[in-house]
Amino acid sequence: MGVTIKDIAKAAEVSYSTVSKALRDSPLVKEPTKQKIIKIAAQLGYQPNVAARSLVSKKSHTIGIVWPTIERVTHSALITGLNKRLEELSYTTLISINDMEHAINTFNRYQVDAIVAFDERNSQEPANSTVPIITYGIAHEESPFPTVDVNRKQAVRAAVNYLTEHGHEEITYIGGMTKVDHLQEEKVNGFLEAVQENGIAASSVVIAVEDLESYDGYEAMKKVCAAQAVPTAIISGSHDLSKGILRAVHEKGLSIPGDVSIISYDNIPATESFEVPLSTVGVPLHTITEKLADVVMRLISEEKVEQNIYLEPELKITESCQTRRRS
């Protein structure tokens, strides 16, 4: 029951090949004819059949996204953003929440033009995909695919450096520490390296949290407050953790930044809606999606792409930080 170019051709009293050209805005069609055809197409509610189109063009104008961990909220905003950006570039996204191999099979059938994989454990085997694949996560040389990587280590280092330069000598990092999640591990490593280099390793602490939920931050911060020596600055490993940390600070009656300065790692916007607008360090979400879409487009047009693409984090300081007098 779908409207095809043949229906339009009949209505406009031209051949269907003329309709095809008119709708693709070809200069081979006279302007008035073109206008007439476009108008009729709109009236009939014509939607081009992607199957037919991709069959002949060998392009589907579709990007596959592998996202096996749909429950992880952190990535949701990322995918939403990427999807929006790709729509702007008139690509459609096909999201698969299966494992890599299964997803690639599906995507091959659909002849997607490229695949973006959010699978953390980027598989070592080259996974026989006929189309370019790009992964988001931790870059390493052996990866068979180009990778876009947020430089998390650098981000946390920047936060530590900033705080040290502003007189802080007791800094506590609250975040995930499981070896499994490399993304979290990188941040911790950045912290440890930086405090070492700045000579404040002795007075610096890492508090490991179970999960990255708001409540975990809350509990961790309560622990921190209970200790005899409260640090002068906190670095939080994620946006959600920061929410909990703020609650704990609030309950304890401490002031920010009077008693404690806080910098939160994140790449989500919306940190401004907090009671205290948080200082943050990380790559803006917009930058990541922009870059991912950009690389995908380059891969599709078969341009060369660097193996590892690092995005540099930005340090955004607000009133949640203040300079510390040496005591």
Q: Which residues bind a second copy (CB under 8 A)?
A: 1-2, 45, 47-52, 54-55, 60, 70-71, 73, 76-77, 79-80, 83, 87, 92, 94-95, 97-98, 105-106, 108-111, 128, 130, 213-215, 218, 243-244, 247
**And the tokens for 193?**
């390296």
Q: What, of DNA, a second copy, none, does residue 5 touch, CB below 5 to 8 Å by kind? A: DNA
Asked if 322 is part of the footprint of DNA (rule: CB under 7 A), the reply reads no
Tell me if 39 contacts DNA by CB under 7 A: no
274 vs 310, beta carbon nearer a second copy? 274
Least distance in Å: CB of 49 to a second copy?
Answer: 7
| Angle, helix 16-23 to helix 5-12, in steps of 10 degrees | 110
Which segments of 211-307 are extended strands (E)? 233-236, 261-265, 279-282
Burial category of 28 from C-beta neighbours within 10 Å (exposed 0-12, middle 13-18, buried 19 and up): exposed
As a whole number of Å, the end-to-end CA separation of the chain is: 79
From the list 6-14, 148-156, 272-280, 283-291, the region that binds DNA by CB under 7 A is 6-14
Under rule CB under 7 A, residue 108 binds DNA: no
Closest to 175 in 3D by CA, of 190, 162, 163, 161? 190
Pick from DNA, a second copy, none: which does 94 bind, CB < 5 to 8 A by kind?
Answer: a second copy
Q: What is the pairing mode between strands 279-282 and 314-316?
A: antiparallel
Site map 40..79 versus DNA, x via CB under 7 A: ------x-xx-xxx-xxxx---------------------
178 backbone dihedrals φ, ψ, rounded to 5°: -65, 140
Positions touching DNA (CB under 7 A) are 2, 4-6, 13-18, 20-21, 23-24, 28-30, 33, 46, 48-49, 51-53, 55-58
